[in-house]
Amino acid sequence: MVLGIAIAQPAVFGIVNGAAFGLVAIGLVMIYKSSRVFNFAAGEFATLGAFGTYIGIKVLGLPYILAAILGVAAGTAAGLLTERLVVRPLADRPKVTVLVATAAIATIAIPLELMIGGVKTFPARPAFENGVSIFGVKIISKLGPSIFGVRVSPQLLLIMVSLIAIGVLLVWFFGRTDLGLATLATSQEPTAGRLVGIRLNRISMLTWGAAGFLGGLGGVLLAPVTASFTAGYGTTGVLISAFTAAVVGGMTSIPGAFLGGILVGLVQTYAQFDLTKVTGASSVALFVMLVAVLLIRPTGILGTEA
């Protein structure tokens, strides 16, 4: 039983962490599906999410929920700005150029974060530090419920709930709404989309805004897990995990991104805490995972093209 918990506790941690990576990865896949571009600014969307929450709590004194919304809004705004100022002017250029340009965004964002934040490490408060109470009745304690002997903190619960909600939302969006179908269509055949009257600019804005939203949300949810974050944390800590998740799941598959995220989270957690306890073991694991997938099955688990 004890051994079970020894395996299960990191597993829960890894799954839920990975789920948050999955959120960011979905943003990456959406952009790739619609324009075959790799978005290297996604990391900073996440940092801005965490940063916005920090500013909300520290500077504006908002309660957590509002600060979190501010964080997600910051990420979304960054996504929209990136689309308008960087992606659209480079629309007809080689994808490599766009990749480098989005990487340049990190160069701009990180010093700005340092400038505004003033310090290098920012604390990140977890959600529901005092548990969740409804009408004065505590339904979730500070430490979170115990599921099969494993503690699931409110933060982790929040991540799971968010992910499920987003998943449902996306399935509904892509499957049932006109806009969603249009996005899918133009991702496969932009010219045909234009001919049919779909406004590509709108789709582009939507896709990047969603990527910003997801990135920001990912940052908001992930930072408290490690209780603090630094400037550029999204790019150094989240980006490569999210990209690996997307590649593992298949760069063209949204459910794949989710699945990939969980796999990446599990592998990283076990590599870091269980197997070796060596510093940076998770980075090695990520590298090995990425190269292995690209060499053995480049389409990823659920993807449809190399």
Partner 1 sequence: MATTAERAAEDDATTALPYADDGKRRFRPTPGGWAGRAAFVLALALIVVWYVTANKPFRADELSAGVILAIGALSLNVLVGYTGQISLGHQAFIGIGAFSAAYVFSHNHQGFYAGLAASAVVGIVQAVLLGLIALRVRGLYFALVTLAWGFMAENAIFRITSFTGGGAGTPFPRPSAFRTDKTYLVLCGIVLAVVLLIDWRLVATKAGRALQALRESPNVASSYGVNVRGYTLFAFGVSGFYAGVAGALFAARRLTAGASDYTFIDIALPLLILTVVGGLRRRGGIVVFALLYVLGREYLPDWGQSISFLKDNAIYVVPALSGVLAILTLIFQPEGLGTITAPIGRWLKGERFELDLSGGSGAEGVDARP
Q: Which residues in this chain contact partner 1 in the complex, by CB under 8 A?
A: 38, 40, 85-86, 89-90, 93-97, 99-101, 103-108, 110-112, 114-115, 232, 235-236, 239-240, 243-244, 247, 278-284, 286-287, 290-291, 294-295, 298, 306
Nearest approach, Cβ of residue 282 and partner 1 (Å): 8
Q: How many CB atoms lie within 10 A of CB 90?
A: 16
Nearest approach, Cβ of residue 85 and partner 1 (Å): 8
Nearest approach, Cβ of residue 278 and partner 1 (Å): 7
Q: Which is nearer to partner 1, 37 or 203 (CB)?
A: 37
Q: Which is nearer to partner 1, 95 or 138 (CB)?
A: 95
Q: Which is nearer to partner 1, 76 or 268 (CB)?
A: 268
Q: How far apart are the C-alpha atoms of 250 and 91, rounded to whole Å?
A: 24
Q: Which is nearer to partner 1, 129 or 305 (CB)?
A: 305
Contact predicate 43/236, CB 8 Å: yes
Nearest approach, Cβ of residue 101 and partner 1 (Å): 5
Q: Which is nearer to partner 1, 62 or 114 (CB)?
A: 114
Nearest approach, Cβ of residue 245 and partner 1 (Å): 11
Q: What are the helix (H) ranges across 177-297?
A: 178-188, 190-196, 200-222, 233, 239-249, 254-269, 281-296
Q: Which is nearer to partner 1, 59 or 292 (CB)?
A: 292
In Å, how far from its chain's centre is CA 261? Answer: 9
> b/e string for 263-276 if b means 16 or more Cβ within 10 A?
bbbbbbbbbbeeee
Contacts of 98 (CB under 8 A, 6+ apart): 37, 38, 86, 87, 90
**Per-residue CA distances from 75 to 91, 117, 284 (Å):** 22, 16, 29
Sign of CA dihedral 281, 99, 242, 119: positive
**Which strand (E) or helix (H) includes residue 147?**
strand 146-147
Nearest approach, Cβ of residue 116 and partner 1 (Å): 9
3-class SS of residue 137: strand
Nearest approach, Cβ of residue 226 and partner 1 (Å): 14
Residue 121 burial (C-beta neighbours within 10 Å; 0-12, 13-18, 19+): exposed
Phi, psi of 41 (to 5 degrees): -85, -10
Q: Which is nearer to partner 1, 46 or 239 (CB)?
A: 239
Nearest approach, Cβ of residue 272 and partner 1 (Å): 10
Q: Which amino acid is at 205?
A: M
Q: Which is nearer to partner 1, 60 or 278 (CB)?
A: 278
